[in-house]
Amino acid sequence: MQDKGINSTFKKIIYESSEMVFLADDTYPYSIFYTNEAFDEKIGDSLKERNLVGLGLDINAYIFKEELVLTHGQKEFSFRLELPQDSGSNYFLFYKGKEIKSFGLPSKKEAYQFFTSKLDVIAIGKHDHLTYLNSMVLPVLGYEPVELMNTNLCSFVHTDDLEHLQNVWKIHSKSLEPIFHSFRFKAKNSSYKLLECAIQFTQESFFVIARDVSSRTSGQEDEAKLATLINKLPSLSRACSFKYSGESKELNWGLSEEELQEKFQISEKQRASLSNEISSFLTKLYFEEKENQNLDGEFSSLNGINFKYSLFIPKTSPSSIWGVIWDQKEKEELQEQATVLGKYWEECPEAMMILGWDGHILRMNHVAKSLFDLDDLSLNKHFNSLTIFSEEENSWSDWRAKIEDGKAQSKFAVRCFEESENPLTIEVALKRLELPSGDQAIVSFRNISEQVTLEKTIEQSSDFLMNLTEQVPGGLYQLVLNSEGQMNFSFLSKGINSVLGISQEEIHQFTDISSAISKVHPQDLPTVIMSSVASAKKMEPWQCQFRVKSGDQDQPYRWVLGAARPQAMENGDMVWYGYLTDITKQKEFETKLDEARKAAEKATQIKSDFLSMISHELRTPLNAISGSVYSLFHENPTDSQKSALNTINFAVDNLIIMINDLLDFQKIEAGKLTIEHNPLNLKGLLEQIIKGLSFHAADSKNKLALHLSNGLDLAVKGDKTRLSQILNNLITNALKFTQEGNVDVKVELLGQVRNKVRIYFEVKDSGIGIAPENQEKIFNDFDQVRPTFSTKYGGTGLGLSITRKLLKLMGGNIALESQVGKGSKFFFELEFEVAEQELAVIQEVKSKSISFDTLHLLMAEDNDVNSLVLGKIIKKWGFTYDRVLNGLEAVEAVKNNSYDCILMDIQMPEMDGFEATTEIKKFSDIPVIALTAAAKLEIMEKIDEIGFEGFVAKPIDAAELLKRIKEVITEKNYKA
Ligand code: ADP
């Protein structure tokens, strides 16, 4: 290899290059004098001649070319001339290159040959102009390539073909699809050449291979012209082409005779006469007006049908006339139809657009324009250029994809005018229209904004309700009973799960009512069913408490409260809207409450029992003390003894009052006190009370006076004991809290209506008075103004409280007026029923005179002290008596002896006073007086029931007992 003066650094660079490199002389035969390994491997080693000729290059064409394209061993290589190198006085060529990976495509050289070949016109262009034309354009069209480069091609295309070509161009240039299309192109000599073109679009440019087919189709051109005429009458049924030969005067229809008859709906005869008419018309035309190449006109024929024609003289046969005839009336009708259809389109209440398949807006109707605020300026614009829809929804290619794969129609919603104040939601419906001139799309738009807003509102309120049903404690349901008697849950809220202890999965199977019933406790089932049936029948709200299975082993059932309201539907169904809620805790609480109530009742009972027991126990010794004091008074005591006895009496009286008060209070509290309605004489009773307290009055140095109005001497039905108790209480208090003053008791008849009288009672004293702040307090239980008083005056603080309660039971109300230091006035009113009859009887009894000088009594008393005291009293009266120790003995004694009266203790061993009296009453009418220390209220009823004639409380008041004995004997005598 020659050195040519190349330095070693340069050699090294060349040698290490990954590209193929060779250096060659710049003079013939252009010997390759230096190569690198990459070059040798692919080309150099197999070269026969190491020069440019050996590389197969046309020296003249390639020398100094910037790029060498060469083929070697069926591979193509491309070399670039880096630079001709100046090495001292020598120039040489420096090529660098690589293999072109063409995958079977022609080499550049071949491609070049192909483009420059004289096969067809080959052109390359951009948009609407050409950038390259091969030399075939000269022989075919008469232009030098440069004449057609960079000129708008439209002016060269035949006007009849231009519109169609533009349409086809528009559609396919976007989709990059190849097309095959023929059109007429103006040659340099102004004649038109029919070019049959194959056009390939790329992103940037288009390639055309055009072949002149004019010579081949000069006959076809005439045919095409005829076809164009026919095509201008697209949907006409009564239209037909024809060819008329001027030489032979022969008329040939474009249809067979039968077809023609059928199309024109004419008979054979009519067809023949039509042919004749047209033939003679054309003959005339042929001879007279042949110089006109295109003729249009009309003539009437066949029962006045108005035919129109369009004629021309074919190039290939100048002695002929070709053309079409048609029924003008039908054409007009069709045109009218088209107008009407156009109107339909324009006036269609739905917004409509017709888009080219590439997305250009071809038509839009009135509603579309107003919906999107567009005008005709938007026509022919691309759909994507409208700023109506938000960007992501505005891509025509996306919309088109929805109907591309054979889908006939696609419907979807899009948002538009997103940025504006009133964005709209539009429902889009798309349909592909397959037309001979290319596919289009018909798009309709419907404003569904209101509907969407409404749906949203409904959804929101339904969400709210749903949330509400889920959040309320317990579960809500809707139960439907249809006309066939089937019951189903049509709605169950989530809360039902926890109330009924069922899982979310189970709830779907729970719609059947029988599965709900199976959950109910068998004991509660009848109640549930009965109440439901009643609710359905009466259309009344249903409510029920029942137990349902809980699925919990520790607590197998839980309590549930169910409530629902039935409603009858128009279709006959009955619907209950209701809820179920867990009331297990409440039930547990109720049970505990019930237990507590029972315990409290029991405690009260125990208290009451205890009180009556204690009172009995207390009365017996008090009885003894009182009795003993009574007898001591009759044994001439000294003055000091008398004073001591009085003190004892006072103490005992107080104790008795206290016990009685406590027992009464207890009775009233327990609600066991009843008011009697027995005949009593008001005047008599009042006088008796005053008389009973006169000693007390004298003792406290007070003047006690009774003031009665007229008309009080009458019998009324009332409770003598309770009325006495009330007045006793008030008068005793007045005497207690007055020293050397007056106590006036005033009773007035206020009025009488039929058999009812109204009476006013008043107890007035001139005592210490009650301060205003204490006036209400003193009526409270156990309240005294000053507790210290009780030591001086005695009392429990229960008296007024009981008085008020008793008066309430009798229908009265106590009132008080008082001034400290001046005195107090307690007053109230009561109403009584008048009882004349009974009173008359009593008064009559009183009038009978009976001798009570000697009486023989039976005393049934187990307690020796009591028996001793009572015995002494009886003897004092000058009566005689027998004593027995129990009821049994009493019954025996009555059987064997005769007595005037029996004094019967109630609590006795063997047989008590009740039993004994019951026995005695079976065979004897001797009056029996009960003596008991037990609370009188408690035993009063029983005493009445058994038939005791009287009752005296222990400790016995001797005077009272004597009075009672006399009364019962008198009554007995009267009855007898
Ligand atoms: P007590 O058994 O203590 O008398 P009460 O209920 O009868 O109970 O009376 C309650 C208190 O009312 C008495 O302790 C007394 O302070 C006062 N009180 C009742 N009546 C009178 C009265 N006529 N004059 C002054 N104070 C009275």
Q: Determine the straight-line distance between the first and last CA of the chain, rounded to whole angstroms.
A: 182
Helix 268-288 / helix 257-264 crossing angle, nearest 10 deg: 100
663 lines ligand 1 (CB under 6 A): no
User: Edge-to-edge strands of the sheet including 206-212?
Assistant: 129-133, 121-126, 206-212, 192-201, 179-186
Element (H, E) at 285: helix 268-288
Which residue, chain included where needed, has tokens 């089932």? 525
Helix (H) or strand (E) holding 736: helix 720-736
Cα of 772 to ligand 1 centre, how many Å? 14
Ligand 1 atom closest to the CA of 790, numbered from 1 = 3
Ligand 1 pocket, residue 824 CB under 6 Å: yes
User: pLDDT tens digits, residue range 106-150?
Assistant: 767 777 777 777 778 888 888 878 888 888 888 888 899 888 888
- What tokens appear for 879 in the block? 């009566």
Cα-to-centroid distance, 794 and ligand 1 (Å): 10
Contact between 765 and 743 under an 8 Å Cβ cutoff? The reply is: yes
Going through 59-191 in order, the beta strands assigned E by DSSP cover: 67-72, 75-81, 85-87, 90-100, 121-126, 129-133, 179-186
Q: Whose CA is nearest to atom 7 of ligand 1?
A: 799
Residue 956 DSSP one-character state: P
What type of residue is 501? G
pLDDT of residue 845: 43
Q: Check whether 90 has a pLDDT greater than 80.
A: no
Calculate helix-pair angle for 936-946, 639-669, nearest 10 degrees. Answer: 80
Which has the closest alpha carbon to 57: 79, 42, 36, 38? 79
HSE of 860, CA atoms in CB hemisphere, 13 A: 33
Mean pLDDT of the chain: 82
pLDDT bin (cut points 50, 70, 90) of residue 838 is very low
pLDDT for the residue numbered 408: 64
CA of 656 to the centre of ligand 1 (A): 17
Condensed to tens digits (0 to 9), the pLDDT of residues 29-44 reads 788 888 888 888 888 8
Q: What percent of the chain has pLDDT over 70?
A: 88
How far is it, in rounded angstroms, from Cα 321 to Cα 333? 28
The average pLDDT across 717-738 equals 88
Mean pLDDT for the stretch of residues 592-598? 94
For atom 11 of ligand 1, the residue with the nearest CA is 784
Take residue 940 and report the two structure tokens written for it: 């009063």
Q: Please tell me whether the peptide bond between 955 and the residue prior to it is cis, using omega within 30 degrees of 0.
A: yes
Longest Cα–Cα distance of the chain, Å, equals 193
For residue 854, what are its two tokens? 């000697």
Cβ-contact 714, 681 below 8 angstroms: yes
The phi, psi pair for 147, rounded to 5°, reads: -65, -30
CB 463 within 8 A of CB 450: no
Structure-token match 């409440």, residue found: 586
* Residue 941 and residue 935 in contact, taking contact as beta carbons nearer than 8 Å: no
C-beta of residue 809 within 8 angstroms of C-beta of residue 664: no
| pLDDT value for 82 | 75
Tell the residue number behind the tokens 């389109």, with chain if given. Answer: 345
Q: Is the Cβ atom of 763 under 6 angstroms away from ligand 1?
A: no
551: left (phi over 0), alpha (psi -120 to 50) or beta: left
Cβ of 765 below 6 Å from ligand 1: yes
- Give me the helix-helix angle, 836-847 and 958-975, nearest 10°: 100
Does ligand 1 have an atom closer than 6 angstroms to the CB of 734? yes
**Exposure pattern of 63-78 as b/e (b: 16+ CB <10 Å)?**
beeeebbbebeeebbb
Question: Which of 62-76, 302-316, 334-348, 399-413 has maximum average pLDDT?
Answer: 334-348
Nearest to 493 by CA among 509, 474, 479, 519: 474
| Number of neighbours of residue 886 by Cβ within 10 angstroms | 19
Chain-centroid distance of CA 609 in Å reads: 60
Q: For a substitution probing ligand 1, which of 704, 725, 782, 784 has the most ligand atoms within 8 Å of its CB? A: 784
Pocket test for ligand 1, best of 800, 803, 806, 814 (most atoms within 8 A of CB): 800
Cβ–ligand 1 contact at 779 (below 6 Å): no
Q: Is 229 in the pocket of ligand 1 (CB under 6 A)?
A: no
pLDDT, one tens digit per residue, over 271-299 is: 888 888 888 888 877 776 555 555 777 76
Strands (E), 174-290: 179-186, 192-201, 206-212, 239-245, 250-253
Pairing of strands 250-253, 294-301: unpaired
pLDDT, tens digit, 9 for 90 and up, residues 915-950: 999 999 999 989 999 987 665 566 777 887 888 888
Does the C-beta of 861 come closer than 6 Å to ligand 1?
Answer: no
Calculate how far, in angstroms, residue 585's C-alpha sits from the geometric centre of ligand 1.
Answer: 49
3-state SS, residue 618: helix
Q: Is the pLDDT of residue 589 over 50?
A: yes
Which atom of ligand 1 lies closest to the CA of 738?
Answer: 24
Is residue 887 in contact with ligand 1, taking CB distance under 6 Å? no
- Per-residue pLDDT, 134: 87
Report whether pLDDT(861) > 60: yes
Q: How confident is the model at residue 847 (pLDDT cuts 50, 70, 90)?
A: very low
pLDDT higher for 129 or 812? 812
Cα angle, residue 265 at apex, residues 264 and 269 outer, rounded to 5°: 95
- Helix H, strand E, coil C: the string for 557-579 is EEEEEEEEEEEECCCCCEEEEEE
The phi and psi torsions of 20 (rounded to 5 degrees) equal: -80, 135
Question: What dihedral angle (degrees, nearest 10) is formed by the CA atoms of 351, 352, 353, 357?
Answer: 130
β partners of residue 182: 196
Cis link prior to 473 (omega < 30° from 0)? no
H-run or E-run covering 362 = strand 361-364
Do 955 and 623 contact (CB within 8 A), yes or no?
Answer: yes
In this prediction, residue 59 carries a pLDDT of 65
